[in-house]
Amino acid sequence: MKGGFFDGITFGFRRFHHKLLNKNDYMEEWRDKPLPSEKIKPSVYHNIIFQSISLILVLILLLGLYYFVL
């Protein structure tokens, strides 16, 4: 979100699609569409990070149980 990685990827795909496939479509302006960082709230990223860390910790716990206890 901070670096704009997904914004750059999205912008590139939109431009590529427009240049190759929609040359005569003047109704759709690809530059005016909102980028992902403009549509998603920061709380969504916090939820994804929390879930990722929780799943990694559960995975490590279960692997420890499997290899050391069983």
User: DSSP labels for 14-69?
Assistant: HHHHHHHT-TT--S--TTSSPPHHHHS-HHHHHHHHHHHHHHHHHHHHHHHIIIII
Do 1 and 19 reside in the same domain of the chain? Answer: yes
Domain housing 65: 40-70
Do 26 and 60 reside in the same domain of the chain? Answer: no
Do 33 and 45 reside in the same domain of the chain? Answer: no
Do 35 and 50 reside in the same domain of the chain? Answer: no
Do 62 and 51 reside in the same domain of the chain? Answer: yes
* Per-residue confidence (pLDDT) for residue 54, from 0 to 100: 98
Do 2 and 25 reside in the same domain of the chain? Answer: yes
Number of structural domains the chain divides into: 2
Do 55 and 31 reside in the same domain of the chain? Answer: no
* Per-residue confidence (pLDDT) for residue 22, from 0 to 100: 62
pLDDT by position in tens, the chain (length 70): 566 787 788 888 888 877 777 666 565 676 677 777 777 777 887 898 999 999 999 999 999 999 998 7
